Amino acid sequence: MQRIKQEREEILKELVKKLGYEFKNIKLLNEALTHSSYANEHKKRKIPYNERLEFLGDSVLSIVISDYLYNHLATLQEGELTKIRASIVCEPSLANCSINMQMGNYLLLGKGEEVTGGRERVSILADTFEAIIGAIYLDGGLIKVSEFILRTLHETIQDAIEGKIFKDYKTQLQEFVQSINTKKISYEVINEEGPDHNKIFYVQVKIGDEVLGEGAGKSKKEAEQNAAQKALKKVM
């Protein structure tokens, strides 16, 4: 890993206080806050960026939330547990946690991403939150990251259990289709445009072989939500 300048380390310590977790290896936190656009603008330095940590954090978040719901909602079946989990780990919920801790202020972004509002972009903030989960998991293990997740997402979890969080479009489409059809819903990336740090994804949603809608977004998740929204307008 790259060395961290003293000034940057002091800035990271501000975020550490907000996270409520003391890193043994603060370089992991710095990597979690490094966007691919920044790394691409400094290729010669071979700076590690947060996509691998995001991949790991996504899985860790899912198992921690699944474990919590399984043990605290003993009367609910798989379908209901899945819907509650989906509303907790969706992009808007995770981005909201990032906003509450002002994570956007600590991001390392490329100039292009900076000027186009990357610090406030929902997909980037949600991905950053997942990357930080991955970093805490590597630094402190499952118990510590579970404590962080359940503390940080406490209100979101309770709202989801009480049904106060609006269902995402993918979940709404899934429920509607299942009520009238047994065919499987699938999402497929049909095109990608732009450089890695500012890519646009195009996704189509299908029931069987029938295309119901298409959507675009700065992330695959965002594009899928937009495709599902258009599909809902078509079928309902």
The catalytic residue positions are 58, 130
The rounded distance, in Å, linking the Cα atoms of 30 and 39 is 12
The rounded distance, in Å, linking the Cα atoms of 97 and 227 is 25
Structure tokens at 166: 């609006």
Segment holding 210, helix H or strand E: strand 210-217
Torsion, CA 141, CA 145, CA 225, CA 33, rounded to 10: -80
Q: Considering only CA atoms, which of 228, 191, 221 is closest in space to residue 207?
A: 228
Q: With helix as H, strand as E and coil as C, how does 88-154 read?
A: HHCHHHHHHHHHHCCHHHHCECCHHHHHCCHHHCHHHHHHHHHHHHHHHHHHHCHHHHHHHHHHHCH
CB 202 within 8 A of CB 230: no
Q: What one-character DSSP code corresponds to residue 184?
A: P
Structure tokens at 155: 């209100």
Cα angle 176, 182, 61 (rounded to 5 degrees) comes to 65
